[in-house]
Amino acid sequence: MSSSTFETTIQTYLENRAKTDSLFAETYKKANKSIKECCNYIYSQARKFAKGSNSVGIDDATVYGWAVHYYDEDDIKVDGVESRVEVATPEPASVEQPKPQPKPVQKRRRGEDNSLQLSLFGEL
């Protein structure tokens, strides 16, 4: 996902949230905030989350939460952050269902009758 696609995704989320949340709609109008800087804030948070690693997996809810937080707080300073975003959609795990095991069949010996015979007179 390119930076501009990422920015568009974040912007779309925030615009939809502003339509349904009147309090956030006011926050989203702040003149000192921008989508570009918001995405840089998200990148910086992801870097902190990665703790020095070159990659990190972060769920959508966390990323969107950082975006909202950026607009909520007035004192957030964002420095230049190197950014490269890749989105990986988890593949559904293909779980193989265990095959039903046939029930063991007892072998009958010749001349042996293992079945019960019902009697009309109540005796077995």
> What does each C-alpha distance from 89 to 1, 60, 63 come to in angstroms?
12, 11, 15
Whether 91 is in a domain gets the answer no
Residue 40, C-beta contacts closer than 8 angstroms, at least 6 positions apart: 78, 80, 81, 83
Rounded to the nearest integer, the mean pLDDT of the chain is 79
Tell which residue, 77, 42, 48, has the closest CA to residue 62: 42
pLDDT (0 to 100) of residue 39: 92
pLDDT at 124 over 70: no
**Mean pLDDT along residues 32-58:** 87
Q: What is the pLDDT of residues 58-104, one digit of tens each?
A: 899 999 999 999 999 988 887 765 555 555 555 555 556 666 777 77
Q: Any idea which residue has 């501009």 for tokens?
A: 4
In this structure, is residue 63 part of a structural domain?
yes
Q: In terms of pLDDT, which residue wins out, 43 or 119?
A: 43
pLDDT value, residue 54? 76
Of residues 38 and 85, more confidence is placed in 38
Long-range contacts of 3-9 (CB under 8 A, 24+ apart): 3/39, 3/83, 3/85, 6/39, 6/85, 7/35, 7/36, 7/39
Domain around 18: 3-72
Tell me, yes or no, whether 106 lies in a domain: no
The secondary structure of 76-105 as a DSSP string is -------------PPPPP-PPPPPPPPPPP
Q: How many domains does the chain have?
A: 1
Predicted pLDDT of residue 35: 93
Q: Which residues contact 46 (CB under 8 A, 6 or more apart)?
A: 56, 58, 63
Q: How confident is the model at residue 20 (pLDDT cuts 50, 70, 90)?
A: very high
49 belongs to a structural domain = yes
Inter-residue contact 6 to 60 (CB < 8 Å)? no
The answer on pLDDT for 14 being more than 90 is: yes
